[in-house]
A = this chain, B = another copy of it.
Amino acid sequence: MFAKFLNLNPDKQTRIINAAMKEFAQKGFDNASTNEIVKEAEIAKGLLFHYFKNKQQLFLFAYDYGSELILNDFYQKFDATEPDFFARLRQISRLKLEILQQFPDMFHFLEVAYIDTSKVVSDELEQRKQQLIDSNLGKLFKGIDLSLFKDGVDITRIIQIMMWTFEGYNRDALKKAKLTPGVPINYESFFAEAAAYIEFFKTSFYK
Q: Whole-angstrom distance from the CB of A66 to the nearest CB of chain B?
A: 19
Tell whether A197 pairs with B167 under 8 Å between CB atoms, given A30-B30, A31-B118, A175-B126.
no
Query: What per-residue 1/0 map shows which CB atoms of A154-168 lie under 8 Å from chain B?
Result: 100100110111011
From B28, B164, B169, contact of A169 by CB (8 A): B164
Please state the number of chain copies in the assembly. Answer: 4
> A179 near B126 (CB under 8 angstroms)?
yes
Q: B164, A200: Cβ atoms under 8 Å?
A: no
Q: Are A164 and B168 in contact (CB under 8 A)?
A: yes
Report the bound CA distance from A169 to B157 in whole Å: 11
User: Once the chains bind, are A117 and B28 in contact (CB under 8 Å)?
Assistant: yes
A163 contacts B168, C-beta separation under 8 Å? yes
Interface size, A (range): 20 to 34
* Interface assignment of A27: CB less than 8 Å from any CB of chain B: yes
Interface residue A75 (Cβ < 8 Å from any Cβ of B): no
For residue A163, which residues in chain B have a CB less than 8 angstroms away from its CB? 168
Q: Indicate if the CB atoms of B197 and A157 lie closer than 8 Å.
A: yes
Q: How far is the CA of A126 from the CA of B204 in the complex (A)?
A: 32
Residues 16-33 (chain A) with a chain B CB within 8 angstroms: 27-28, 30-31
From B164, B178, B204, A205 is in contact (CB under 8 Å) with B204
Interface residues of A (CB under 8 A from B): 27-28, 30-31, 115, 117-119, 122-123, 126, 153-154, 157, 160-161, 163-165, 167-169, 175, 178-179, 197, 200, 204-205
List 4 A-B pairs, minimum CB-CB distance, nearest first. Answer: A164-B168, A164-B165, A30-B31, A161-B165
24 contacts between A and B (CB under 8 A): A28-B30, A28-B117, A28-B118, A30-B30, A30-B31, A31-B118, A115-B117, A126-B175, A153-B204, A154-B200, A157-B200, A160-B168, A161-B161, A161-B197, A161-B200, A163-B168, A164-B164, A164-B165, A164-B167, A164-B169, A165-B168, A167-B168, A204-B204, A204-B205
